[in-house]
């Protein structure tokens, strides 16, 4: 099953890790749910850029993105998940201050298992192509009245 909106695989038990802590926490999902020694390519693709995750970031809603893709989304839009549109502003501020955005263990596993793909994407030719594909015009989404207060109170 896939999402009609973003054209990527729907949530599976292996990709989106369940976390029993509160959604506002900056805690990394438990490492037990990931098989770091045998990652599949489908598990480590970013839904925004459709390439192998570079510095993977788990959001509180359990979606996974490249750090640069997430930063670009934040700069162009509000602090909402590109997949489910759940706000994560408070979590993002705390995680970026504590330098806990990147899932380090997953990033190390990706670097060791998908080294060739990461090197291909970092070549100058691939960089120009990816820059051209990200050059779309987006309009910022304005928050509705009271949404920031609601997030702050949560």
Query: pLDDT value at position 33?
Result: 67
- Integer Cα distance of 15 and 30 in angstroms: 12
CATH architecture of the domain 49-126+149-154 equals: 2-Layer Sandwich (3.30)
pTM for this model (two decimals): 0.56
**Positive or negative: CA dihedral 151, 97, 106, 128:** positive
* Per-position pLDDT tens, the chain of length 154: 544 444 444 444 444 443 433 333 334 444 446 777 888 888 889 999 988 999 999 899 989 999 999 888 888 867 888 889 899 888 888 888 888 888 898 889 898 888 888 887 765 544 444 544 455 555 566 677 888 788 888 7
**Positive or negative: CA dihedral 121, 77, 132, 47:** positive
Query: pLDDT value at position 3?
Result: 46
- Domain range annotation of the chain: 49-126+149-154
Query: pLDDT value at position 65?
Result: 92
């Amino acid at each position: 099953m896939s999402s009609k909106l973003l054209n990527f695989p729907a949530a599976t038990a292996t990709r989106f890790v369940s976390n029993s802590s509160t959604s506002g926490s900056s805690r990394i999902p438990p490492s037990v749910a990931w098989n770091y020694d045998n990652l599949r390519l489908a598990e480590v693709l970013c839904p925004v850029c459709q390439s192998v995750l570079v510095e993977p970031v788990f959001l509180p809603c359990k979606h996974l993105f490249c750090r640069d893709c997430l930063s670009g989304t934040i700069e162009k839009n509000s602090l909402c998940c590109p997949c489910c549109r759940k706000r994560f502003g408070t979590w993002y501020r705390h995680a970026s201050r504590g330098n806990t955005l990147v899932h380090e263990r997953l990033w190390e596993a990706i670097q060791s298992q998908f080294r060739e793909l990461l090197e291909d994407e970092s070549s100058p030719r691939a960089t120009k192509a990816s820059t051209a594909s990200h050059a779309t015009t987006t309009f910022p989404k304005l928050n509705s009245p009271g949404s920031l207060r609601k997030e702050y109170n949560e």
